Structure 1
């Protein structure tokens, strides 16, 4: 899951990023409103962790910008203010959840997973996508012929395709999603080709159709006819 952390307390920002990175989140950071706005405009995120109190500006500005440009990302507000008015305003502006500081980092991660499931997978940990059974929480994929052993990047890539099923996604959006702040180090698309080639082969070897097709000059499309949520 790709996350943007918007927080101006250096130690808290470091703690959140370190913990989430160790638990398989891909994290970008911003310690001021201007940088947060730029990142929101330039990149795609599954969720934004958003403080609302800054020396200059307010986190509510970021919420309004997300709503204005219709970004499809979750928002989890973190704030030292336990104010009902702030909570109500945040939810009214489109936030998905609100946590009051201090909080436990495992709970923060659990709430991020819950937001992602609600927004992208109708709240389900288990997805049935044509011939695929995908467990979002436990990170495994199988078909009726057995488990499909995927690397972490291949699993993340598959989830990205599923959450954008039947849509064209660009090569650059895939790079940004999989590598985040390290995307600038990826100066060609060779890694994308390798990951997609390996993912396609593993799916086909387990009896799946060739879901992934190249769209000339644009990117790739993951095409499926059915998606039935699991229970």
Structure 2
């Protein structure tokens, strides 16, 4: 597949939306961006599909001393995912999981307040959820997001990203109903290498985009 270099997250979102037009103007579709960097991409997707936009805040619960190894995750909507195999394999007691989850829950609540204030997380049951990020490297965060969403019984889950590591795509595809990645380049090292501008997205930008999406201006669909 041809390698794509995106100007920035807005440009990536525009191109990604064009690949998702079969979901446009459907009342069952909900676009969820993974903060922070996935939200500017998701905003362009939602705007062009004329679909609601929100965020899915996910916090991995890492094993002490092995931060990349997740023993679970928490997500918006009060969802907790426990990876029992990891806990058994590492001989982790439930009390350690609960302590780590409590610490991550504080950060999750902080981010939700920063992004959407006191507005509740959207209802996803029986929805077609398009889960958007600015790219996928190892896939650990978006995998946790998928597991969290499954517990809320959506009709279907679509992962949509501008760029992703090919091996990670192969691991994620069996977990969802569809995976759309505009580019799956070999030699993938990091998401940022495929963007001309990959500057950090701030909390204020995420909040601004969500507020703008809540009061959208009519946008004609691309031809």
With structure 1 as the length reference, what TM-score do the two structures score? 0.33
Higher RCO structure, 1 or 2 (CA under 8 Å, sep 6+): 2
